[in-house]
Amino acid sequence: MAAVRAHVSLRATGAVARRQFVSRVSRYVLLAASLVGIIVLAYLTYDTLNTGASRLSWDFLNSYPSRFAERAGLRSSILGSAWVMGVTVLLAFPVAIGTAIWIEEFAPKNWLVTAVKLNLANLAGVPSIIYGILGLTIFVRFADLGPSIMAGALTLALMIIPMTVIAAEEAIKQVPQSIRDASLAVGATHWQTVRSHVLPEAMPGIMTGIILAISRAAGETAALIMIGAFTFIAFDNTSVKDDFTTVPIQIYNWTIRPSQQGFQVNASAAIIVLMGAVLTLNLLAALIRERFRRE
């Protein structure tokens, strides 16, 4: 049998050629748009590294603040950040996961719950300074905690709970209904189903959300300044009642000083430390996500 003869040209002509041209051009336009952001970021990174890298040393990390730039260090602010982050996680984690489970699994589907869910998204978008004002009023003054680690952690916990709840909700929603059905169909109770199947399945997503929330809290400055966190702490924190400072507050403090005193270099070095920490957390979140996705 003879093969079907080709009577049609398969080359792009006319309208097809025009559409393909637009398509090709659009690719470069989009690439250019992305490059703007990347170039700016690269320049900032380069500038920061260029200024601060020379200042990075064990002494810098291990010294208390000082009036003299070359003797000042991050010791008390790193410790303060660690304390605040630790307490924030302890406060926020159970509340956020509990809320998410209740909303997704147990809450009745009525307007009140719907309103709460909508407002969670709004709360996650509220500027952090507002949380600072709230913390100042309730925790620092009303609860008389003073500008302590506890007051700071409570404020940051309030700030990250909405976004953690949203992340956890999403993770719980991703657990296929079929798994729930399977569990219920063998006579498991709702709670047994949640504990044995839904939570383990959702955990990577929840963890990712929490780590991202922590990294946001780690970089938080405005809310903590608002509640009156100190900038000059020359001792190691030992309890949640202590006054405290954090790395971003220290950076802020250094950057607002006159430039000739050399604190700008300190600020750049501290930024490198903070950036490293946040990147590490984000990387961790990505790793957790990837690891569980592959399973």
Partner 1 sequence: MDREVPPVPELKVAVPSSMQSGEGGGAIPAMFAATQYLDEEERILKPAEPALFRLSNVNFWYGHKRALADVGLEIPVNKVTALIGPSGCGKSTLIRCLNRMNDLIPGVRVEGLVEYREQDIYAPKIDPVEVRRRIGMVFQKPNPFPKSIYDNVAFGARVNGYKGNMRELVQQSLRQAALLDEVQGDLRKSGLALSGGQQQRLCIARALAVQPDVILMDEPCSALDPIATLKIEDLIRELVKEFTIVIVTHNMQQAARVSDYTAFMLADETGAGSLIEYGHTQEIFTNPKDKRTEDYITGRFG
Choose, by CB under 8 A, the member of 133, 201, 262, 289 that binds partner 1. Answer: 201
Look up residue 243 and give its DSSP letter.
B
| Smallest separation (angstroms) from partner 1 to the CB of 175 | 10
Segment near partner 1 (CB under 8 A); pick from 147-155, 187-195, 234-242, 256-264: 187-195
E strand or H helix at 269, and its extent? helix 263-294
Binding mask 4-43 for partner 1 (x = CB under 8 A): ----------------------------------------
Q: Toward partner 1, which CB reaches closer, 194 or 224?
A: 194
| Smallest separation (angstroms) from partner 1 to the CB of 173 | 15
Choose, by CB under 8 A, the member of 133, 184, 275, 284 that binds partner 1. Answer: 184
Query: Is the CB of residue 152 less than 8 Å from the CB of residue 227?
Result: yes
Query: Is the CB of residue 61 less than 8 Å from the CB of residue 75?
Result: yes
Binding mask 56-95 for partner 1 (x = CB under 8 A): ----------------------------------------
Choose, by CB under 8 A, the member of 40, 90, 182, 286 that binds partner 1. Answer: 182
What's the Cα-to-Cα distance from 182 to each of 178, 191, 196, rounded to whole Å? Answer: 6, 14, 12
Within its chain, how far is the Cα of 110 from the centroid? Answer: 31
Any contact of residue 186 with partner 1 (CB under 8 A)?
yes
Q: Toward partner 1, which CB reaches closer, 70 or 105?
A: 105
Tokens standing for residue 273: 């430390």
Any contact of residue 178 with partner 1 (CB under 8 A)?
yes
Choose, by CB under 8 A, the member of 109, 122, 259, 260 that binds partner 1. Answer: 109
CA distance 63 to 76: 8
Phi, psi (degrees; rounded to nearest 5) at 109: -85, 85
Q: What angle do CA 266, 156, 249 make, to 5 degrees?
A: 15
Any contact of residue 111 with partner 1 (CB under 8 A)?
no
Choose, by CB under 8 A, the member of 108, 111, 293, 294 that binds partner 1. Answer: 108
Three-state secondary-structure class, residue 145: coil
Q: What angle do CA 40, 44, 45 make, to 5 degrees?
A: 115
Segment near partner 1 (CB under 8 A); pick from 67-75, 145-153, 178-186, 211-219: 178-186
Any contact of residue 295 with partner 1 (CB under 8 A)?
yes
Any contact of residue 185 with partner 1 (CB under 8 A)?
yes
Q: Toward partner 1, which CB reaches closer, 195 or 216?
A: 195
Choose, by CB under 8 A, the member of 138, 188, 222, 284 that binds partner 1. Answer: 188
CA distance 46 to 68: 26
Query: Is the CB of residue 206 less than 8 Å from the CB of residue 97?
Result: yes
Query: Is the CB of residue 227 less than 8 Å from the CB of residue 245?
Result: no
Query: Is the CB of residue 159 less than 8 Å from the CB of residue 220?
Result: yes
Q: Toward partner 1, which CB reaches closer, 75 or 197?
A: 197
Q: Toward partner 1, which CB reaches closer, 144 or 295?
A: 295
Q: Which of 169, 133, 149, 138 is nearest to 90 (CA)?
A: 149
| Site of interaction with partner 1 (CB under 8 A) | 108-109, 176, 178-189, 192, 196-197, 201, 295
